[in-house]
Amino acid sequence: MPYRRVLLKLSGEALMGEQSYGIDTSVIQRIAAEIAGVVAQGTEMAVVVGGGNIFRGLKGAAAGMDRATADYVGMLATVMNAMALQDALERMEVPCRVQTAIAMQEVAEPYIRRRAMRHLEKGRVVIFGGGCGNPFFTTDTTAALRAAEIGAQVVFKATKVDGVYNKDPACFRDAVRYDRLSFQEVLRGELAVMDGTAIALCKDNGIPIVVFNLFEAGNIARAIAGEPVGTAVHPELVPH
Ligand code: UDP
């Protein structure tokens, strides 16, 4: 396997499936089954979950809420998703720990980098909840940060779209999907891979990003096997 330790970023929106809000348990179960499969093959898997299916700080701020307070609400939303995923994994007998960036020790461990790495070495899935614990950040940035901290070899961004396009494929029929991109190309084209802070962190730490569709069964395993899924963003310029 090309990757021994992987950081999987699951967007909150992906967890709501076809619903307009909240958690679709059948979607979570399917994701858990895919994670169980790759962990059984020996891949160390850390997960960062988003919270957009429940609450987004920017939306709260637009409705008149204090931005920092709204972001804290968003971070708490990610913990709910983390716990739902943990539950699904444990029901499949996959050992799993949730670590939160905001301490809430009655429900999860606090984020302790070395402990997280030890869990991974022992074959446990580690789910990071609460983002990075700071307002004005995103769970994409958290994914890049935690990946660098724990020495993950790649960030998998699993979303509702099947990669990165030159323009929004939902609005433009002639939108073209990229198979491979360099970080320079992403930054130059302001392409919607992850937010700028997350891209900068991955670029500076030489961590590739693979963006793929979570709803295509088997995509997590394919990405781990190094098969082409979605769009791969590489640290150095790769000839197309
Ligand atoms: N958030 C934050 N700091 C972080 C991570 C998340 O303030 O480090 C808040 C922010 O308000 C964000 C919300 O949590 O809107 C949910 O996270 P995000 O939007 O990244 O989730 P996703 O888009 O992946 O569903």
CATH number, domain containing residue 207? 3.40.1160.10
Distance CA 175, CA 155 (A): 24
Structural domain count of the chain? 1
26-60 burial, b at 16+ Cβ within 10 Å, e below that, comes to ebbbbbbebbbbbbeeebbbbbbbbbbbbbbbeeb
| Per-residue pLDDT, 45 | 98
Tens-place pLDDT, residues 42-61: 999 999 999 999 999 999 99
User: If you take atom 6 of ligand 1, which residue's CA is the nearest one?
Assistant: 138
Classify residue 239: in a domain, yes or no. Answer: no
168 is in an annotated binding site: yes
Tens-place pLDDT, residues 164-209: 999 888 899 999 999 999 999 998 888 888 999 999 999 999 999 9
Tens-place pLDDT, residues 96-143: 999 999 999 999 999 999 999 999 999 999 999 999 999 999 999 999
Record the pTM: 0.96
Residue-range definition of the domain harbouring residue 75:
5-234
- For the CA of 9, the closest atom of ligand 1 is 24
Pocket of ligand 1 (CB under 6 A): 11-13, 50-52, 56-58, 71, 74-75, 77-78, 131-132, 134-135, 137-140, 142
- For the CA of 52, the closest atom of ligand 1 is 25
133 is in an annotated binding site: yes
Classify residue 240: in a domain, yes or no. Answer: no
